[in-house]
A and B are shown apart, each in its own frame.
Chain A
Amino acid sequence: MYSIRKQTRQALLALTVTITTVLCTAAAADEGAATPDEVVTKVWSAAKVLQTKGASAIPSLNNADGPWVWKDSYVFAFDCRLDRMVAHPMRPDLVGRPIMQVTDNNGKFIFKELCDAAKHKNGGWVEYQWTRPGAGQTSRKLSYAVTADLAFSTGIQVAAGVYDETLSVEQLNKMTEQLADPGSFDH
């Protein structure tokens, strides 16, 4: 009798621990992972700040404790015409360096694709492999890039991304078009 009760108690305890762990992990994932609409909002805000404040806004994009770093994501800026990284809060070693030859583990030319995506009116999403901040290995990243307009410049490109295994580029481009022009999606 005693042993059955003990077993039950142990089972209950194990169950409680499991449930708590699962819930906490889920909550942490929710807290820790940037969402696609956050990415779009951040990228648009960064582009707007560059349009408004010009080159003087660039240092804030290089600040790892600044407004452009949130959860597990961050805004980075690059110049497709000059082939160089303009600002990267996580990788200061890349700033000022050429970008066009940068490839991911699958040999994809990341910035060539980001530059093509940024040419579209409302920007576009690109899928590639990149290291999530704090992680030891690369994972699937989907980044949204636009071209920001700034004075005395041909414009620079700004982007940010989500780390996700399931979302598709088409899905995200559609979501972005809808955010950019909600009116045309009213039916």
Chain B
Amino acid sequence: MEQQKQGNPAVVGLGGFGLTTMVLQFHNVGWMGIGPVIWLGLIFGGLAQMIAGFQEKSTGNNFGYCAFTAYGAFWISLALLLIGNQFNIYVSSKTDIGWFLVAWTLFTAILWIGALRIHGAMATTFTLLLIGFILLDLAHFGYPQLTVVAGYELMATALAAWYMMAHVIFADVYGRSILPVGNPWIKA
């Protein structure tokens, strides 16, 4: 019997990661408030990306399993943290959020090293993500004007994630590779 075709959970994971990252940057550069970031962070960036992460487990892809589950958890934590501030539950100051971001920067640095071995698009996305996190760290510790720089930089990160999503989807529907992802930055 022919095996049933399986979907790639990365298309949802990358979609949610990219979209929530994008709307947070729309907020960071000052185009909109924080409201939509919270709800999208809970549902698309959070719940959907986390489920995609769990689905990566059965594909045997440890990088995707860890990254999607973790960044899904990041979005849920961030949204709950901001909701907590509204309702006076464990209120997190700007400095507290700064340290939260520092921890995620360190975590991202580990995945970044892994991403260098995957392909060019993954290496690009994680390099941009790592730089974005560092900019946000600095913005929370004395250089608030870097929030806007981080905003535009992380919009590029979101686009890079969507590029990989598009790569998988287009390859499937067109039956051939449309968008190249490039060679790994670290070979062999």
Cβ-defined contact, A152 with B34, below 8 A: yes
Docked complex Cα distance between A149 and B30 (Å): 15
A56 close to B147 (CB less than 8 A): no
Task: List B128-186 residues whose CB lies under 8 Å from chain A.
Answer: 136, 139-140, 144-145, 147-148
Binds A, one of B5-13, B44-52, B89-97, B108-116: B89-97
Asked if B94 and A55 sit within 8 Å, CB to CB, the answer is no
Please, which residues of chain A bring their CB within 8 A of the CB of B86? 53, 56
Chain B 111-129 near chain A by CB (<8 Å), digits 1 or 0: 0000000000000000000
Residues of A within 8 A of B92 (CB): 54, 151
Are the CB atoms of A54 and B85 closer together than 8 Å? yes
**Is A152 touching B145 in the complex (CB atoms < 8 A)?**
no
Which residue of A53, A79, A81, A82 contacts B85 across the interface (Cβ within 8 Å)? A53
Contact A152 B30, CB 8 Å, known A51-B93, A54-B82: no
A153 on the B face (CB < 8 A): yes
Q: Tell me how many residues of A have a C-beta within 8 Å of chain B.
A: 17
A154 at the B interface (CB under 8 A): yes
Residue from the list A56, A79, A82, A151 in contact with B94, Cβ < 8 A: A151
Kindly list chain B residues whose C-beta atoms are within 8 Å of the C-beta of A57.
85
Is there a chain B Cβ closer than 8 Å to A155's Cβ? Answer: yes
**CB <8 Å contact, B30 and A56:** no
Determine if B24 and A152 form an interchain contact, defined as CB atoms under 8 angstroms apart.
yes
Within 8 A of B (CB), among A56-73: 56-57
The yes or no answer to A52 lying at the interface (CB within 8 A) is yes
Instruction: Determine the chain A residues whose CB is within 8 A of the CB of B85 once the complex forms.
Output: 53-54, 56-57
Cβ-defined partner of A55 (8 Å) among B24, B34, B93: B34
- Give Cα distance in the complex from A49 to B84, angstroms: 14
Query: CA–CA, A140 to B97, complex, Å?
Result: 41
Q: Which of B28, B91, B93 contacts A152 (CB 8 A)?
A: B28
CB distance from B5 to the nearest CB of A (A): 41
Nearest Cβ in chain B — how far from A86, in angstroms? 10
CB within 8 Å of A: which residues of B? 24, 27-28, 30, 33-34, 82, 85-86, 91-94, 97-98, 136, 139-140, 144-145, 147-148
**Known contacts A151-B98, A152-B34, A153-B144; 10 further A-B pairs (Cβ under 8 A):** A54-B34, A55-B34, A55-B82, A79-B30, A151-B94, A152-B24, A152-B147, A153-B28, A153-B147, A154-B145
**Chain A interface (Cβ within 8 Å of chain B)?**
51-57, 79, 81-82, 149-155
| Subset of 29 A-B contacts with CB under 8 Å | A53-B85, A53-B91, A53-B93, A54-B85, A54-B97, A55-B34, A55-B82, A56-B82, A56-B85, A56-B86, A81-B30, A82-B30, A149-B94, A150-B94, A151-B92, A151-B93, A151-B94, A151-B97, A151-B140, A152-B24, A152-B27, A152-B28, A152-B34, A152-B136, A152-B147, A153-B144, A154-B30, A154-B145, A154-B147
